Every structure is written in structure tokens, then in C-alpha cells.
Structure 1
């Protein structure tokens, strides 16, 4: 599976889910079940590589603004959700996290930002197809610390300065 096919699967299942993150995960599993196990593992590798790339302080700060706080787990789920938003939003957010203010049509912190189930979709599909747990993907684990310069999440003035567009659009 190449990168284009990976993003096509993400996009088509997101569009069919019409904004429902749980439905998106269910549709993704269903779509992956139509593939052979090796292709499911390829999908998982693409997903994991992007998940690790998104482990940055800058992106965590953007998640903090959007979610009004983001614990370690919340940021993990946010990165899965971000991948689920498709290539344009994902790559745009990596390039300029504050640019999410223009890339997102809407954002409801009660619904959006939590893609936990998307993170498990390939594992679930692989297990259903083979009856076995997915093997190690051979991808280096993410580093202990996010990439980039740390952000002081507790200082709202720092967040408002670093993420002016997100702050203006999504914070009261």
C-alpha cells in the first residue's frame, strides 16, 4: 500500500462517517477487512509513522488550545483524530499548528479531537482477519519527549501568543 492509497482509505471512511468519530473508526475497520492481512499491516505502518511524526510540542500546544487542555492520553487521541482528518489537514497542522484555525471547518471539543478508536482500527481488522494479534510493525517507537521546543501549557498568554488564530477562533 502506498501513501496515496492510505489517504484514500482515511478520506473515504471519514466522508462516509459524516463527522462521527466512532462511525469513522467502524467504517475504517470494515474497509480494512476487505484487504489482505499484509495490506492491513501496511496501513498500520502508515498510520503509526504519521502518529509518531505528529508527536511535537507545537502540535500539542494546538491540541491544548482546541481541547481546553490535553493530557498525554488526550494528545495521543488527538493525533489519531488528526490523521483521520485527511492528508491536507494533517500535513497542514504539522507545518503550521496554528493554521488548524483555517483548516478546520468546525471543532466541537465534545466530539472532535478524540480519535482513540481510529488508532486501534488496523489492529482490530488484522485480528479479525487472522485470529492473531498484529506483529510488531518494525517502526521505531516515538521518542520519550515530543520534538521541538516545549510549550508552557499553563500560561494562557503564551498559548494566545503562539497560537493567535486558534486562540481567537476557538477560545472564548
Structure 2
């Protein structure tokens, strides 16, 4: 499977279904009809796409939009970006500051209007300081709109087990045998985000790196 085949499956899964659970099931069904080698290829392409989006600037975008920071949460956010399809992903993968051009991100901003802004605080996470915006929720929005999609990364697991009789650890080994190594979980000795680490609490640096997002949040 080449990159075109990977994106075709990702995008068809959105067209053929109307919710995330059905989308995962559709992909599992499609992948179950492929060879073990093709399933490994799909997983390798998914990993390579996720790696492209694993950067300090994208982490800053994730933190700012969601209001929290965690290694797992960032990974699920990147899964969500991939699920939006090739055009949306390509738009932000190398330029995270374009996030607000995505209709799905604009939808999140609309939903945020149902929140009450309370305060902005600073916290330290590891070696850097992060800006936290705290909100009080007035109503719950549909989970389908959340900017995270954990299970989207797991669609190869059962198809691979059925195709090979092996456990999913073997799938990871097969992907790495192709020379593809995941950057997640990030902030580990073997997996660092791309780019230069920077202090997210430095407003001047935030404006320099993410000027559009900074404008949206009133920093300029």
C-alpha cells in the first residue's frame, strides 16, 4: 500500500460512516480484507503522518485549544488531525498556525462560546511553562466534535491478529522493520518532538511562532 492508498481508506471511512464508532468498525472491516503486508503498510503510513505532526509548535496548538497538556492527549489530538483527511492534515502538519483554517477547528471555537471564561494561569510541565486557560462548561457538546480520536490509531490491531495469528506487539515490530519509528509517546529518550523546544508562556515567542492563533486569543 502506498500513501495514496492510505489516504483513500482514511477519507472513505469518513464518507461511508456517520460517527466515530462506525468509522473505526468500517476501517477494521476494510483492513481485514487486506494482506498482512498491506496492513503493516497502512500502520507505517499512519505512524509517518503522526510523526510529521509531532512538533513543539503543534503541541502548543494542542495545549492552547484544549486547555490542558499531556503526552497521551497530544497523541489523540494528532490522530484526530489525521482523521480529518489529507487536505486538512497537509494544511497544518508543517504549519500548525493554520489550525483555525480548518472547519472542524472553527466548530470547536463555536462550541467554546458555550463556556464561561474564568481565568488564565501559568503552570510548569516538565522543563517548560505553559499557559492554561480555565473554563467552566455550561453545556456538554457532542463527543464527535472533540479534537481527539484515540481509537483511530488502533484500527490495524484486530485485522493484523486475524491475518497473522500474532499479537499486536508483532505489528509494531513489523513497522519498525521498515525503518519507521513512532515519536509517540513523546518526551521520552527515544522520541522528542520536532523543532526547537520553547517556553509556551513567553507571549512574544508565541506571537512570533503562532501569529494567527495569537491573534485569535488576543495576544496581538
- TM interval, shorter chain, is 0.7 to 0.9
Which residue in 1 is equivalent to 2:137? none
* Higher RCO, 1 vs 2 (CA within 8 Å, ≥6 residues apart): 1
Q: Deviations over 1:105-143 (max 9, x none)?
A: 423685422221111111222113333124211223424
Match of 1:128 among 154, 162, 167: 162
List gaps (5 residues or longer) in structure 2. Answer: 112-140, 184-189
Indicate the structure (1 or 2) with the bigger Cα radius of gyration.
2
Which residue in 2 is equivalent to 1:119? 153
Q: By percentage of residues, which structure has more helix?
A: 1
Matched, 1:30 2:29: yes
Indicate how the Cα distance of structure 1 residues 41 and 99 shifts in structure 2: closer, same or farther if over 3 A, else same.
Answer: same
Q: Please provide the CA RMSD for this pair.
A: 2.6
Q: Would the aligned equivalents of 1:89 and 1:104 in 2 still touch at CA under 8 Å?
A: no
Q: Deviations over 1:32-78 (max 9, x none)?
A: 11212211111011111111222110111111122122311100111
Aligned mates of 1:61, 1:22 — CA distance in 2: 28
Normalized against structure 2, the TM-score is what?
0.67
Kindly tell me the number of residue pairs found equivalent between the two proteins. 169
Aligned mates of 2:154, 2:162 — CA distance in 1: 12
Q: CA deviation at 1:104?
A: 2.9
Q: Would the aligned equivalents of 1:101 and 1:166 in 2 still touch at CA under 8 Å?
A: yes
Q: Would the aligned equivalents of 2:47 and 2:182 in 1 still touch at CA under 8 Å?
A: no
Q: CA deviation at 1:150?
A: 2.1
Q: CA deviation at 1:167?
A: 5.4
SS in 1 for 2:181: coil
Q: Would the aligned equivalents of 2:52 and 2:94 in 1 still touch at CA under 8 Å?
A: no
Which residue in 1 is equivalent to 2:197? 150
List gaps (5 residues or longer) in structure 1. Answer: none
Q: Deviations over 1:13-44 (max 9, x none)?
A: 022333x3333222211221121221111101
Q: Would the aligned equivalents of 1:159 and 1:167 in 2 still touch at CA under 8 Å?
A: no
Matched, 1:50 2:84: no
Aligned mates of 2:89, 2:167 — CA distance in 1: 28
Indicate how the Cα distance of structure 1 residues 125 and 168 shifts in structure 2: closer, same or farther if over 3 A, else same.
Answer: farther
